[in-house]
């Protein structure tokens, strides 16, 4: 039997969950209840995403969701195999997918950041 | 909850899973009519069949009083001990007949007898004995009533395998330790007489151990002794993270540190 391992990954998923509660709360509040932002228009979205604070919330939301979800997916996959080589391959693969999706998400925000 | 004494039938229909992998191509259900006897348990009905109807029926039993865990079976859709399950209780639950299956998701050796090898191997792997660093006491390792309460629930486990059989992570993950071995690890981690808590956490704080528990709670539902294995496993996770954050080297000590 192996020694301790996988502790950081599991802990970070919990931390990500707690972080999600916060940023998702902000996201939902701003989108649905915060004055003029609650009305969905291109001008409104542009204005909202022009604010540094909201960009930070959006990027954090994206990063936390991706980590939490993909670690959960890895956890399901590991229910079927704990063979070291397979676990390594899946972990690397999921990191690549996660980073690629994170990059795409941030790229989508760039036009708004640049105004 | 007391069993209501309603009008009982003269006979009860018993449906039993039958399968001998060395002879049968597929499992089947055999039905028997068993004469009603007040206070009759499911184990009694199996004995009736064995003694009066079909001597080839295979099932495990030993103590007949809910202590040994040998007669854990899947009775009318739930994990139960055959010796503790009164037929009258099943009728009161609304079942017209008794249906007895082996513990699900375990290889069947014959009829109601399942292969528990993996269960026992996992139990042995977590070193289920006390490990002390101090000199042995003259008589015994004493424990205060308060300290004993910390492990009372987990000491009550009778190793019947119901939790193991009910856990979806066990069904899919062939190397997963399972709820019983993990709960028993917590039993020793929480035991104030034991000196190897962090070494034990090192054994189970990995992908084949505590992290595989998805808190489905099937084990809690299945346990005939009402033990909360999931809470124990969550305790293991918390303590393992705490030990890691403190930089514990004992987490990497491995199984040898727990040898007697």
> Percent of chain A beyond pLDDT 90?
52
Contact yes or no for A3 and B212 at CB 8 A:
no
Rounded Cα–Cα distance for residues B50 and A15 (Å): 57
Domain count, chain A: 1
φ/ψ of B127, rounded to 5, equals 55, 70
Question: In this structure, how many other beta carbons lie within 10 angstroms of the beta carbon of residue A82?
Answer: 18
The beta strand positions in B89-189, using DSSP E, are 98-101, 108-110, 113-114
Mean pLDDT estimate for chain A:
87
φ/ψ of B96, rounded to 5, equals -85, -25
Q: What is the DSSP code (8-state) at residue B132?
A: -
> Percent of chain B beyond pLDDT 70?
97
Is A1 touching B (CB cutoff 8 A)?
A: yes
pLDDT, residue B165, reads 98
Q: What is the DSSP code (8-state) at residue B252?
A: G
φ/ψ of B75, rounded to 5, equals -110, 120
**SS3 category, B182:** helix
Q: Which range among A38-42, B3-7, B37-41, B227-231 shows the weakest confidence by mean pLDDT?
A: B3-7
For residue B237, pLDDT beyond 60 = yes
The whole domain housing A65 covers: 7-113
Whether A105 is in a domain gets the answer: yes
Nearest CA among B97, B99, B94 for reference residue B82: B99
- Alpha-carbon distance B187 to nearest alpha carbon in chain A (angstroms): 18
Contact yes or no for B205 and A80 at CB 8 A:
no
Cβ proximity of B95 and B76 under 8 Å? yes
| CATH number of the domain where residue A32 is located | 1.20.1300.10
Confidence of residue A44 (pLDDT cuts 50, 70, 90): confident
- Domains along chain B? 11-114 (3.10.20.30), 117-258 (1.10.1060.10)
pLDDT, residue B95, reads 94
- Alpha-carbon distance A17 to nearest alpha carbon in chain B (angstroms): 15
Whether A24 is in a domain gets the answer: yes
Confidence of residue B1 (pLDDT cuts 50, 70, 90): very low
**Which of B125, B174, B207 is best to mutate for the A interface (most A CBs within 10 A)?**
B207
Per-residue pLDDT tens digits for B80-121: 999 999 999 999 999 999 999 999 999 999 999 999 999 999
Whether A1 is in a domain gets the answer: no
pLDDT, residue A1, reads 46
Nearest CA among B65, B146, B71, B157 for reference residue B114: B71
Per-residue pLDDT tens digits for B178-216: 999 999 999 999 999 999 999 999 999 998 999 999 999
* Reported pTM: 0.89
Q: Mean of the pLDDT values across residues A39-68?
A: 87
- Alpha-carbon distance B103 to nearest alpha carbon in chain A (angstroms): 21
Whether A36 is in a domain gets the answer: yes
CA B244 to chain centre: 30
- In angstroms, what CA-CA distances link A22 with A16, A33, A50, A64, A104? 10, 16, 21, 11, 23
Whether A2 is in a domain gets the answer: no
Q: Mean of the pLDDT values across residues A10-38?
A: 87
Angle between helices B229-245 and A7-32 (to 10 degrees): 100
Confidence of residue A92 (pLDDT cuts 50, 70, 90): very high
């Amino acid at each position: 039997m192996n020694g301790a391992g996988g502790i950081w990954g599991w802990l970070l998923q919990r931390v990500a969950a707690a972080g999600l509660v916060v940023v998702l709360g902000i996201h939902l509040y701003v989108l649905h209840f915060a004055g003029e932002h609650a009305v969905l228009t291109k001008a409104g979205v542009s204005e909202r995403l022009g604010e540094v604070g909201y960009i930070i919330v959006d990027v954090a939301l994206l990063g936390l969701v991706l980590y939490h979800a993909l670690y959960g997916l890895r956890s399901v996959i590991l229910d079927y195999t704990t063979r070291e080589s397979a676990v390594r391959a899946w972990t690397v693969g999921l990191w690549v997918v996660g980073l690629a999706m994170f990059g795409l998400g941030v790229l989508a925000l760039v036009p708004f950041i640049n105004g | 909850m007391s069993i209501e004494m309603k009008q009982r039938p003269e006979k009860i229909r018993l449906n039993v899973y039958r399968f001998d992998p060395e002879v049968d191509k597929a499992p089947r259900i055999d039905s028997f009519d068993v004469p009603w006897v007040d206070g009759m348990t499911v184990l009694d009905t199996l004995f009736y069949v064995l003694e009066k109807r079909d001597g080839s029926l295979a099932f495990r039993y030993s103590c007949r009083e809910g202590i040994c865990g040998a007669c854990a079976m899947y009775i009318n859709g739930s994990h139960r001990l055959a010796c503790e399950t009164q037929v009258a209780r099943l009728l009161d639950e609304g079942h017209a007949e008794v249906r007895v299956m082996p513990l699900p998701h375990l290889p069947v050796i014959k009829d109601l007898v399942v292969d528990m090898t993996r269960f026992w191997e996992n139990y042995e792997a977590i070193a289920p004995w006390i490990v002390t660093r101090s000199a042995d006491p003259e008589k015994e390792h004493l424990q205060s009533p308060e300290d004993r309460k910390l492990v009372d629930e987990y000491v009550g486990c009778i190793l019947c395998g119901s939790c193991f059989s009910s856990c979806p992570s066990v069904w899919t993950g062939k190397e997963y330790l399972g709820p019983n071995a993990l709960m028993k690890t917590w039993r020793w981690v929480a035991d104030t007489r034991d000196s190897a808590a962090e070494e034990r956490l090192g054994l189970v704080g990995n992908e084949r151990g505590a992290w595989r528990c998805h808190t489905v709670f099937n084990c809690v539902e299945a346990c005939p002794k009402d033990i909360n294995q999931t809470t124990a496993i969550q305790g293991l996770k918390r303590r393992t993270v705490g030990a890691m954050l403190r930089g514990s080297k004992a987490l990497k000590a491995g199984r040898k540190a727990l040898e007697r």
